[in-house]
A and B are shown apart, each in its own frame.
Chain A
Amino acid sequence: MDVRLTTEQRELRDAAARLADDLGPGSVLDLADDDRAARLEKAIAATGWRTLRSDGASGVEVALVVEEFARGLIDVPFVGPVLADELYTRLTEAGGPTEGSTDGVSADGVAAAASGGATVAVDGVAIDAKGLRGLLGLDGTRVLAGTVGATVEGVDLTRLTGEPAGPLTAVGTLDEETALRFRALALVVTTADMLGAARGALTLGAEYAKVRQQYGHAIGSYQAIAHLLAEARALVEGAVSVLRHAAWAVDELAAAEAVQAALVAKAYTERAARTICETSIQVHGGIGNTWECLAHVFLRRVLTSAELFPATLEEIDLGLS
């Protein structure tokens, strides 16, 4: 038993963190800076990390990059393409796409997925769809394909959603174990996304508490503020521990166990991340409730990733079986 990150994993995490710090939006105003977003897109495309899974990377490595990108509010697609890459890889391993199953649209979608230009559909919505054409989905064990139509801004200010251009059609089937494993990975990457965003929100709040003065002192010197932030910091630590295990489990445990590990991680992290973001808003006071403060951008990202591939407490195994 040794659950430390390897040197390579730490280096990958640090590289993702640097990229996010250099090119992620540093303010709400930055979200509208198309030149910055274009530089970010180019930099991420150059890393090849959107195809980490088809390149053989583990769930741990994918989760580390997702977490750092969310911490830096990376506002070009990542989670969507990573999951599409996973689906496409499993589809081809299963001998898909099934011959003759692709009409013009689904053929377009599959072709886009093959070249890394796809995202996934969740409940009929193309998530994380900015600039992407291909669209893959999983319905039970059936892999569906189509293309992305018009994109819109949604609740999450850092990611666009899209309408499918038309109905998705089945292009192949995965075995149940593989389909479950896809769900585990999807739960893990959305959990990593929430954790990263929560860490970003906590840093924002803690740094603000060091400089904002009231009654002649930095507000972080008051226990009422400091204790809120300390609780948030402890929640981060708990979430890191459950996520680490779930990310490892994606490739190392039986699929049903991997899903259980991921459900625990997501259920824990969802509550933790929401609390941390709410704390950040509170510490910012009135400013935290304005559109210009990044705190709500983190919160919106957390809320969105919580709803994608949701984890409910009812599904948690109580250890009776």
Chain B
Amino acid sequence: MDFRDSPAEAAFRARLKAWLAENAGKFPTSGDEYWHKQGEWHQALYQAGFFGLSWPKRFGGQELPPVYDVILDEELAIAGAPARPSLGYLAIGLGHHGSAELQQRFLPGMINGSERWCQGFSEPGAGSDLASLTTRAELDGDEYVIHGHKIWTSYSDIADWCLVLARTDSDVPRHKGISGFIVDMHQPGVEQRPLKMINGVSAEFGQVVFDGARVPAANMVGKPGEGWKLAMTVVSHEREPSTLGFSARYGKLVRQLAKKAAADGAAVPDDLRWAAVQAEMLRLHVRRRLSEQLDGLVHGPDGSLDKLLMTWVEQSVGHAALAVTGTRDPEMLHAYLYSRAQSVMGGTSQIQKNIIAGRILGLPAS
């Protein structure tokens, strides 16, 4: 057992540090500016050899162990650089369920950042109860025609492709009538409706209305009716802090807050000390989880434990921000307000607890 870098890991870290120093300040780290420049940031990281680290070489990855992503996230946070674009869960979904042709066509662009993606799962009427979704896809020749309304489609307005869940069969039990599609976002029949969130950011989340958008039948991920399996793979990985790459952000926020408290000459509030403990917990937790992936562990329900822990950490840090700077500091207020979404997005904390209770603790279904 060793929490330290191996020589190869240390060399990678040193190269990364040097690159980050050269590129300091070139990319915005928060707010709408971050989202607008995220595509360029992604491609810059990729071209320098720091993105898609654990992906197969045939898709443009480097086939490195997952712990390299930890190093990346830590160094991004230390350097005050933007976070790693989070699309690992979409890549995993496509990698598990897509045909060889679809993988070869789409994974390289997804990984190198030349093609932007969004996820069309949730609907206004299908949030936690995702299987109740009503977007439908009807076969017309060798294409499907899509009608429906999607919401929480992160950065859909700049996306080239959307992984859409739609109902292809209404005569079977609801989980079995859903299929997954890779839909071109640049076509008539795709309407963008941005959402302004409580922190004022409007470039992250949006709504998309599909009204007669067309998708080749060959762009179906898996077979008809296999969309639910795809969705479960994607959301279970969406729940892991290691995939999201956010965990290192929390330590960075804690250090920023400590500096602000020190500059004010005020006593350090216990909320901040507790947030520091929590952030360190998550940093170590991610290391443990990514090490476990060396065994080839598939993260099913355990992702719900990770998501719950990450949520508690982010919201502790948010409370620490309030304790230190109140509403005076726009960046810290932004961090606090954003933290409220963590217990909702990617599956609410209540849904995670249902999963933990049923699938990990083995408690009976209600």
Contacts and interface: CB of A to CB of B under 8 A. Distances in A.
B255 A316 contact: no
A60 B3 CA distance: 12
Contact of A316 (B71, B276, B357, B366): B276
Nearest to A220: B363
A210 B362 contact: yes
Interface in B344-366: 350, 352-354, 356-358, 360-366
Interface stretch (A11-19, A69-77, A121-129, A237-245): A237-245
A241 B285 contact: yes
Contacts of B295: 4
A221 B364 contact: yes
A106 B292 CA distance: 48
Nearest to A243: B284
B196 interface: no
A234 B360 CA distance: 10
Nearest to A222: B366
Contacts of A3: 1-3, 287-288, 291
B270 A234 contact: no
Contacts of B357: 220, 223, 226-227, 229-230
B276 A318 contact: yes
Interface in A169-221: 206, 209-210, 217-218, 220-221
A218 B364 contact: yes
Chain B CB count within 10 A is highest, among A2, A221, A233, A245, for A2
A264 B4 contact: no
B53 to A, nearest CB: 13
Contact of B1 (A4, A217, A314): A4
A223 B366 CA distance: 8
Nearest to A247: B1
A77 to B, nearest CB: 27
A242 B280 contact: yes
Contact of A2 (B282, B294, B366): B294
B146 interface: no
B308 A267 contact: no
A6 interface: yes
A222 B288 CA distance: 32
A320 interface: yes
Contacts of B255: 318-320
B5 interface: yes
Q: How large is the interface on B (under 10, 10 to 19, 20 to 34, 35 or more residues)?
A: 35 or more
Interface string A235-268: 0011011101100110010000000000010011
B294 A241 contact: no
Contacts of B312: 234
Chain B contact residues: over half helix, strand or loop, or mixed?
Answer: helix
A2 B2 contact: yes
Nearest to B262: A320
Contacts of B71: 1
A242 B362 CA distance: 25
Contacts of A217: 364, 366
B70 interface: yes
Given A3-B288, A248-B1, A268-B278, A221 B363 contact: yes
Nearest to A314: B273
B258 interface: yes
A146 B291 CA distance: 45
A282 interface: no
A313 interface: yes
A1 B356 contact: no
A315 to B, nearest CB: 9
A313 B352 contact: no
Nearest to A9: B1
B280 A1 contact: no
B356 A319 contact: no
Interface in B218-270: 251, 254-255, 258-259, 262, 268, 270
Contacts of A222: 366
A204 B268 CA distance: 38
B102 interface: no
B309 A237 contact: yes
A1 B64 CA distance: 12
A36 to B, nearest CB: 29
A227 B2 CA distance: 35
B310 to A, nearest CB: 10
B308 A313 contact: no
A318 B284 contact: no
Contacts of B1: 2-6, 9, 60, 244, 248
A71 to B, nearest CB: 16
A65 B256 CA distance: 39
B170 to A, nearest CB: 30
A2 B67 contact: yes
Contact of A223 (B6, B67, B354, B360): B354
Given A218-B364, A233-B361, A1 B274 contact: no
B211 interface: no
Contact of A319 (B276, B287, B291): B276
A242 B308 contact: no
Interface in A256-288: 264, 267-268
B350 to A, nearest CB: 7
B281 interface: yes
A30 interface: no
A242 B6 contact: no
A230 B312 CA distance: 13
Nearest to B274: A313
21 contacts: A1-B2, A1-B4, A1-B287, A4-B291, A206-B361, A206-B362, A209-B363, A217-B366, A221-B366, A223-B366, A225-B363, A226-B361, A230-B352, A233-B305, A237-B306, A252-B2, A313-B277, A318-B254, A318-B273, A319-B258, A320-B255
Given A220-B364, A237-B306, A245-B284, 4 more contacts: A1-B3, A227-B350, A319-B276, A320-B262
6 tightest CB-CB pairs across the interface, nearest first? A226-B357, A220-B363, A230-B356, A230-B353, A241-B285, A318-B258
